[in-house]
Chain A
Amino acid sequence: MNTLDIALPQMVLLYVLCLLPWLLLWLIGLRLSRDIGISILRMSIQLLLVGIYLKMLFDLNNPWLNGLWILIMLLVADVSILRRAGLKVRYFALATFTAIASSILFSTAYLVILVIQPTHYYDARYIVPLAGMILGNCLQGNVIALERFYSSLRKNENEYTTFLMLGATRWEAVRPYFRDAIKAAINPTIASMATMGLVSLPGMMTGQILGGSEPWLAVKYQIAIMICIFTSTTIACIINLKLSLNIAFNPFDVLKNELIEKH
């Protein structure tokens, strides 16, 4: 069963649809033409490039090339996490990379090698989209974890110092903020698992069904991906915060404010 193609004239028709929201926004007085134009253009060019790259990746299906693709995704995610969390990339890059690389590689390998078991474990058709999806969600979680942790530490600096003065070790003193940050990071995943299928049909499942899969198969893959996202987000956030604790404080347990960007 093959999915119906969308031909060029129909693609044009699709872009025409954008005129409707643009017109509505214009009518209510929102002048967003520039932003909308840039966003649609960026989406189109970026996806076009990914399409070309994925086509090549799938045709060659070379384990090294697949590995390189994952490595590039990890590096981009690394920088993006730290920028969005407001931390200086130069200092935290290695810690964040270690955290996301180890958790993504672990959960993708677990899923592909133990669960799906394709003929070639490096098969681009499996590892590239799966690792990409897990990483995308893991990225969100890590941004929340780091941002929440360091902003609440700064906001509650007096409380943190009080804990230290009452004999707490650095780890004992940061633990309340650590727990809050991890909770905030994994809550969206837990909430989305709880409402999955009720509120919306998950993207990957929809894609697979459109691609011609049996709904039952699509459901199993959706469960697989959600469990892997949950696992890798939790592991990555905990490792990431833990490693960052060795970087963000001076030897006297005082937070190095200069490593955190001012918002």
Chain B
Amino acid sequence: MPPIIRFDQVSVIAHEKTILSDISFTLFSGEKAVLCGKSGSGKSSVLRTLLGLHPVTSGVVYFQEVPLTPASVQNIRSCTAYIGQEPVLGAESVRDALLLPFQFKAHREQQPTQQQLIDVLQRLQLPADILKQDSSRISGGEKQRIALARGLLLGKKVYLLDEVTSALDADSKQAVFDVFSDPELTVLSVAHDPEWLQRCAIIFELEAGRLTQVKRHEHP
């Protein structure tokens, strides 16, 4: 089976500062990986580079074995769900935020039904009446789960998660763990949370933009 994500000696230099240096790794379908390291070690930059948000100085980033180029970046973005530490909902109400991606041409044909909306909220331990709430009035943890719900509604299989459990209580964290126990989903994440690290089979250690160690442990 070909890998989903592959970094081949990737370096990123922005504003004369080295952000990533000579990074190589491979991630196959269904694998769960986490990037660890001190802040500023380049963990989030790995995710951002894959999404075409940092120009690659040397090396090649592959997604489904296709090199990252201006022509292929739209495909990468529409196949992956990126959830940052403070997700932006980008709409007034929670319902509009969940339906936002379906306004774009890429997803216009996949409009979810009301039932699908409620189901996905339930999976993430969110009440159905959150749909009516104002996006600006919900908590950080709820925002992260709404952003995750958007990915699930879009049927995404690859998740790029940046500290996604940081603002969650034990119950909602468990709900998120349950979602990602699905062997079909591939995860590349950034986290400090020991519980999250436990659940990731592959741990990439980063230091000053370099990949210093790769640990693999059998999935629990």
Binding site for B on A (CB under 8 A): 158-159, 161-169, 172, 250-254
Task: Give chain B residues whose Cβ lies under 8 Å from the Cβ of A250.
Answer: 55
For the complex, is B101 an interface residue (Cβ under 8 Å from A)?
A: yes
Task: Give chain B residues whose Cβ lies under 8 Å from the Cβ of A158.
Answer: 84, 86, 88
Query: What 4 additional pairs, Cβ within 8 angstroms, besides A163-B104, A164-B77, A252-B55?
Result: A165-B81, A167-B107, A172-B104, A253-B73
Q: Given known contacts A162-B87, A163-B90, A167-B106, is B101 in contact with A252 (CB within 8 Å)?
A: no
For the complex, is B100 an interface residue (Cβ under 8 Å from A)?
A: yes
Q: B97-126 vs A: 1/0 string, CB under 8 Å? A: 000110111110000000000000000000
A166 near B53: Cβ-Cβ < 8 Å: no
Q: Which of A159, A163, A172, A251 contacts B105 (CB 8 A)?
A: A172
A162 near B88: Cβ-Cβ < 8 Å: yes
A163 → chain B closest CB, angstroms: 6
Q: Which of A159, A162, A167 contacts B78 (CB 8 A)?
A: A167
Binding site for A on B (CB under 8 A): 51-53, 55, 70, 73-74, 77-78, 80-82, 84, 86-88, 90, 100-101, 103-107, 150, 154
**Which residue of chain B has the shortest Cβ distance to A156 in the bound complex?**
B88
A253 → chain B closest CB, angstroms: 8
B53 near A254: Cβ-Cβ < 8 Å: yes
Task: Give chain B residues whose Cβ lies under 8 Å from the Cβ of A164.
Answer: 77
The 8 A-B pairs with the shortest beta carbon distances in the complex, nearest first, are A251-B70, A167-B106, A252-B52, A166-B101, A167-B78, A162-B88, A168-B104, A165-B82
11 contacts between A and B (CB under 8 A): A158-B84, A162-B88, A163-B100, A165-B81, A165-B82, A166-B107, A166-B150, A167-B77, A172-B105, A252-B70, A253-B52
A247 → chain B closest CB, angstroms: 15
